[in-house]
Amino acid sequence: MFTAAASGTTRAPFLRDMARDLSVSVPLVANLVAVSSVSWGVTSILSGAWSDRWGRRWFLIGGPIALAFAAIGVATSGSFLAVAGWVTVAGACCGLFSGVIFAEVSARVAPTQQGRALGWVMSGQSLTLLIGVPMAAWVGSSIGWRGVNVCVAALALASAMSLLATTARRPDTGLAGAMRVPSLRTALSRPVMRLLCMGIAERVCYGLVAIYYATFLLTTYELSLQAVALPLAVFALGNILGTLIGGQLADRLSNRLGIFAVAMLASGGAALALFRWQGDLVTSVALGFGYVFCNAIARPSLMASLTDVPDHVRGTVMGLNATCSSIGWLCAGALGGWMIATFGFAGFGPLAAVFAVLGAVLARTRRD
């Protein structure tokens, strides 16, 4: 999950460098997230359903290998269109295994540990912000954004090898579950549909800040790439702590959707403060930490709720979740680019708050 997130998130410190190198605008480069989200979402729903039918192992191994080749393609591209094409392929490769990973993890742990287990897996994405993005900014100051993509390719190959060993022992999911044919109609129950919509709202709220936070700091405080590494690390630390605490809460408290609603409302308020008060760098970093901490608490409760489905459709549901997450990232990238061009960063807070409130309302609307 660290590698999947790194394939896109590590571009954040280099939006201006890539725009200058490829002779395009910063919003256009930022929208590469939206491009990869489309292909990520398409392959996620397909791989989820196929993994329920044919097994998960080859998706977990083949996806990262294909991602390595796509990352090399990004690094060697000479035009924006070529970069966009390879980014699309990279997103599709991530979709092959990202949703399947959550289904595999949920099949290997007891229901009372789902929140913590899924929280640990999600922390791999958070570690991309804590370690991957700051390191990319630091290393990229010497080898550039193209060299960073080569590093992502190496990580993808290492991930494939480790997953090859990890999945050698199959989880005991029961013969009855293995014999049943997955059904999309069975997977798309009303509770699952509501949870998926909540996931979209949460990803938009998170993505608006995650995609543009580095650019916000670089633009507002005129920082260098090296100087922005520490604020990004603090931001990522809030994400990791929130994810781990959210996993504990999801396992220890029965009202998982209540946890989600409260955390989303708190993150919406923090987003308003983050983009409204720009007095000094320390305040912005502290508000960024508070925002991502609250937002991250919500995610494990949502994921644990989604895994409460029969094993023979769990891959399909997790694939649908990854697709919905991609839709959220797509909306966040597009809306953020439009917001920068129209209102600037001042409009990010209200926009993020709207989606936070929407997610909380859906969580409290019980129509099962």
CATH number at residue 206: 1.20.1250.20
CA distances from 48 to 69, 187, 311, 330 (A): 22, 11, 12, 20
Cα gap 298→292, rounded to integer Å: 10
Handedness of CA 134, 235, 115, 305 (dihedral sign): negative
Q: Which residue has the higher pLDDT, 346 or 368?
A: 346
**pLDDT above 90 as % of the chain:** 36
The pLDDT, as a whole number, for residue 186 is 61
What contacts 266, CB < 8 A, 6 or more positions away?
294
Average pLDDT over residues 74-87: 92
Average model confidence (pLDDT) across the chain: 85
Domain count, the chain: 1
Is it the case that residue 179 has pLDDT exceeding 50?
no
Cα–Cα separations (whole angstroms), residue 268 to 273, 287, 290, 327: 9, 12, 11, 19
According to the model, what pLDDT value does residue 319 have? 83
Higher pLDDT, 173 or 259: 259
Can you give the pLDDT at residue 273?
93
Residue in 185, 211, 223, 194 with CA at minimum distance from that of residue 335: 211
Instruction: Identify which of 78, 85, 94, 131 has the alpha carbon closest to the alpha carbon of residue 4.
Output: 94
Domain that holds residue 15: 2-364
pLDDT digits (tens, 9 = 90+) for 304-358: 888 877 777 778 888 888 888 878 877 887 888 888 888 888 889 999 999 999 9
Give the model confidence (pLDDT) of 281-306 as tens digits.
999 999 999 999 999 999 999 988 88
pLDDT (tens digit, 9 = 90+) per residue, 24-38? Answer: 888 788 778 778 878
Question: First and final CA of the chain: distance in angstroms?
Answer: 31
- Residue 172: the pLDDT is 56
The answer, yes or no, to whether residue 177 has pLDDT greater than 70, is: no
Name the least confident of 10-19, 73-82, 85-94, 347-356.
10-19
Q: Per-residue pLDDT averaged across 191-208, rounded?
A: 91
Q: Give the position of tokens 């005991």.
A: 172
| Mean pLDDT for the stretch of residues 272-278 | 87
The lowest-confidence range among 14-23, 166-175, 252-261 is 166-175
Tally of CA atoms within 13 A in the half-sphere of 160 that contains its CB: 20
pTM: 0.76
Listed residue (139, 191, 173, 187) closest to 13, CA to CA: 139
